[in-house]
A and B are shown apart, each in its own frame.
Chain A
Amino acid sequence: MTLGLINANPVVHAKKERVARNEDLHCDDAVDPLEIYDILNLILFFFSDIRDPEHPYSLEQLSVLSEESITVDDKLGRILITFTPTIQHCSMATIIGLCLRVKLQECFPPHYKVDIKVFPGSHADEEAVNKQLNDKERVAAALENPNLRQLVDECLYSNEL
């Protein structure tokens, strides 16, 4: 499937140093935003090098996802992810969002409500992308599409270390 990623010269930012953390990602207690960040980083990294192996930067460096863009409300059981597609018209935005959602569903208890949005002002079709990403019927149908499912699986599982 052609992905059409167009990002020849990504802007790279210095990666922040972080203290090593517990590797157990399947926590049923309080959900740590930093854990989510690590999981999602793996996914987004996939997109940064899938068409452009010469730019294997993490998406934090490409400013797609930062620790500030993950909000968790443990009491209500809600997670909000805000990500920034690297360019304004990124056609991959909905696919990236779909992969993020599938990964979150796998890692966290089913009662968590997950909302995924593009960072305000970061995409030309912001409203349209957000609407699709948060329509659970559309998400469910998309994941039954073999082509899309294969892409999502490649993203989620080809990077498992």
Chain B
Amino acid sequence: MELKEIQTLEGHSDKVWGLSWNPATGTSDIPPVFASCSGDKTVRIWEQNSSNRLWHCKAVLEETHTRTVRSCAWSPSGKLLATASFDATTAIWENIGGDFECVSTLEGHENEVKSVSWNASGSLLATCSRDKTVWIWEVMAGNEFECVSVLQGHTQDVKMVKWHPTMDVLFSCSYDNTVKVWAEDGTGDWECVQTLGESNNGHSSTVWAFAFNAEGDRMVTCSDDLTLKIWKTDVGRMQSSDDLAPWTHLCTLSGYHDRTIFSVHWSREGIIASGAADDALRFFVESKDGLVDSSSYKLLLKKEKAHDMDINSVQWGPGA
């Protein structure tokens, strides 16, 4: 089994920090599109040409952010793109007649915004920052965004936020070595309902990223502590009750990485991809050894020197 590079896309003039696939593309008649964001303060939109299968840059979103753009995320409808920047703002872009225009700028964080995420229905947006907070914004008509909650709890820089794939439950991970789970308390207020820290088999250094499996009952986290950790929740309870089923540690993948793991993503088919500071990509799958309650994961493939420098973000694309 091997991993083959199809194309190297050049264009950015500084580190590429993140990327996001447009969920409304990559179907039978719509060519796949993704956005990438960079230390050069721009975002580039890339599209695959259906006849020659080559990728090209179809737009550069510039002259808006004044510092590194750290992360980007398309809304579920694929109509809006949110970009999070070290300039402390989050910009919302819309494709208007082929041109991307910045239609809204979300301000409020005290310093660098690290990550942005839309919920499954596209009605909510979450952002997080070095200011230790997570903000939840409601998407209103006319591209208006209203902050409905400022979540405090992390004791350090918050590296990433992501909504659960099916429920309006928000997750965040931080330089404080924890992952926090946030949910509405029934009266419209958001609160932290769980913290995954060292005492519950959590990480011992910065948690850089995490990802959910397609079913939403498993989560993988990656860290500066050189491990990946798999977490699980009770599917039945998750779907049937108002009570939030707690997440528990399932296993830790250690000994595979010798430098910080910056990104991790779980494919629809169940393959976990990790990108690390040793320039390598690694792929893991669950190995069923016949025992009912045990779960372990094995390394499927390691691609050394996948890039010439640290890998900052890995994202599985749409379909085959």
Q: Residues on A close to B: CB < 8 A?
A: 110-111, 113, 131, 135-138, 140-141, 144
Contacts and interface: CB of A to CB of B under 8 A. Distances in A.
B309 to A, nearest CB: 6
Contact of B67 (A111, A135, A138, A144): A144
Contact of A137 (B159, B205, B279, B308): B159
B20 interface: no
A141 to B, nearest CB: 5
Chain A interface, DSSP helix/strand/loop, else mixed: helix
Contact of A140 (B68, B205, B206, B309): B68
A137 B309 contact: no
A110 B308 CA distance: 8
Given A110-B308, A110-B309, A131-B205, A138 B157 contact: yes
12 contacts: A111-B308, A111-B309, A113-B278, A136-B277, A138-B130, A138-B175, A140-B15, A140-B86, A141-B67, A141-B68, A144-B67, A144-B68
Nearest to B305: A111
Interface centre among B15, B39, B86, B259 (most CB of A within 10 A): B86
Interface centre among A111, A113, A137, A140 (most CB of B within 10 A): A137
Given A111-B308, A144-B86, A137 B67 contact: no
A7 B130 CA distance: 32
Interface residues of B, number: 23
B114 interface: yes
Interface in B128-169: 130, 157, 159
A141 B111 CA distance: 10
Chain B interface, DSSP helix/strand/loop, else mixed: loop
B112 interface: yes
Contacts of A131: 175, 205-206
Contact of B206 (A111, A113, A135): A135
Nearest to A112: B309
Contacts of A144: 67-68, 86
Contacts of B112: 141
Nearest to A144: B67
Interface in B230-281: 259, 277-279
A138 B86 CA distance: 10
Contacts of B159: 137
B47 interface: no
Closest 5 CB pairs of A and B: A144-B67, A141-B112, A141-B86, A144-B86, A111-B308
Given A137-B114, A138-B130, 5 more contacts: A131-B205, A135-B206, A138-B157, A138-B175, A144-B86
B225 to A, nearest CB: 11
Contacts of B206: 131, 135
Nearest to B39: A140
A131 to B, nearest CB: 7
Contact of A136 (B175, B205, B310): B310
B174 to A, nearest CB: 12
A140 B39 CA distance: 9
A10 to B, nearest CB: 33
